[in-house]
Amino acid sequence: MSTSDAAEISNATAALKIDDAAAASTAAAESVDGAAAADAGVDEDPEQRHPLEHRWTLSYNPLNRAAADGSWTSNVKAVSTFSTVEDFWCLINALKAPSQLTIGANYHVFKEGIQPEWEDPQNRMGGAWTVTFQRKGGDPAAARLADEAWQYSLLALIGEQFGADSDEICGLVIAHRNKETRLSLWTRNGSDEDAQKRVGQFFKRNIGYEATITYKLHDESIKKGTSYGGRNEAMYKC
């Protein structure tokens, strides 16, 4: 990992108001400072907290490229794991919006134990629905749409709003690029067309997106070396 990449990860951790030691811990959300917790209206009594169905891990990487050791995931740093509504809001209130990230950076929020990579056993047989937000000349309204879609989608994830298909959900990725922002919802079983289309339709409806979105298989992304562009054909559309 280069010095600049390490600095980006350090900056992301600082933006969360979490110290470097806590950032590597699955209990890092507990370490957000008291001011951030007060701003979020968090009651420090654990018995007053509202547990989520799953534990979720937020990760960050500065650039979508392979590290010096050849592994892309070496650049991905787990920053915080949260398991209550209150810790989620502490995290979101302290986190930089996706539109404020350096070009090339990604946020990932996945169920604890699932790595944000195609090859993870819980992702490998699945795929992702992707929504693209074009940023026209740095239009702040376009950036705001992507930021809002990210937050609405996170709320759907942690709130198990996909109903009977919630077990299909692996995680969410937002990728900040030069001319666009891509929001991708990763699922577990790409061969279940009915389930994937229900998930895709809710994903669109939840963020108020009207254009067609596509679902691409991770296995095909591995073979083609990309999940974007014409080299990797869409499996489903909705």
Query: Letter for the amino acid at 46?
Result: P
Place of tokens 């298989």: 217
The pLDDT tens digits of the residues spanning 144-164 come to 899 999 999 999 999 999 999
Q: Are residues 135 and 214 in the same domain?
A: yes
Residue 62 has what pLDDT?
86
Q: Are residues 237 and 122 in the same domain?
A: yes
Backbone angles phi, psi at 68, to 5 degrees: -60, -30
Residue 228 belongs to domain with CATH number: 3.30.760.10
Q: Are residues 74 and 158 in the same domain?
A: no
- Name the domain boundary from 96, 129, 163: 96
- Is 131 within the bounds of a domain? yes
As a whole number, the mean pLDDT across the chain is: 81
- Is 109 within the bounds of a domain? no
Tokens of 1: 């990992």
Q: Which residues span the domain enclosing 35?
A: 1-42+49-96
41-55 b/e with 16+ CB inside 10 Å = b? ebeeeeeeeeebebb
Q: Are residues 214 and 150 in the same domain?
A: yes
Q: Are residues 191 and 221 in the same domain?
A: yes
| SS3 at position 194 | helix
Q: Are residues 165 and 127 in the same domain?
A: yes
Confidence of residue 69 (pLDDT cuts 50, 70, 90): low
- Is 59 within the bounds of a domain? yes
Q: Is-contact 180 132, C-beta < 8 A?
A: yes
Question: How many structural domains does the chain have?
Answer: 2
- Is 107 within the bounds of a domain? no
Q: Is-contact 80 91, C-beta < 8 A?
A: yes
Q: Are residues 75 and 170 in the same domain?
A: no
Q: Are residues 128 and 232 in the same domain?
A: yes
Q: Are residues 123 and 91 in the same domain?
A: no
Residue 46 has what pLDDT?
58
pLDDT at 66 over 50: yes
Residue 135 has what pLDDT?
73
Q: Are residues 124 and 237 in the same domain?
A: yes
- Is 112 within the bounds of a domain? no
With a pLDDT cut of 70, the percent of the chain lying above it is 72
Confidence of residue 142 (pLDDT cuts 50, 70, 90): confident
- Name the domain boundary from 34, 65, 96: 96
The pLDDT tens digits of the residues spanning 78-134 come to 999 999 999 999 999 999 999 999 999 999 999 999 999 999 999 999 999 999 998
Q: Are residues 85 and 34 in the same domain?
A: yes
Q: Are residues 135 and 236 in the same domain?
A: yes
The pLDDT tens digits of the residues spanning 20-53 come to 333 333 333 333 333 333 344 444 565 688 999 9
Segment 168-187 shows an average pLDDT of 95
Confidence of residue 189 (pLDDT cuts 50, 70, 90): very high
CA distance 145 to 139: 10
pTM of the model: 0.79
- Is 30 within the bounds of a domain? yes
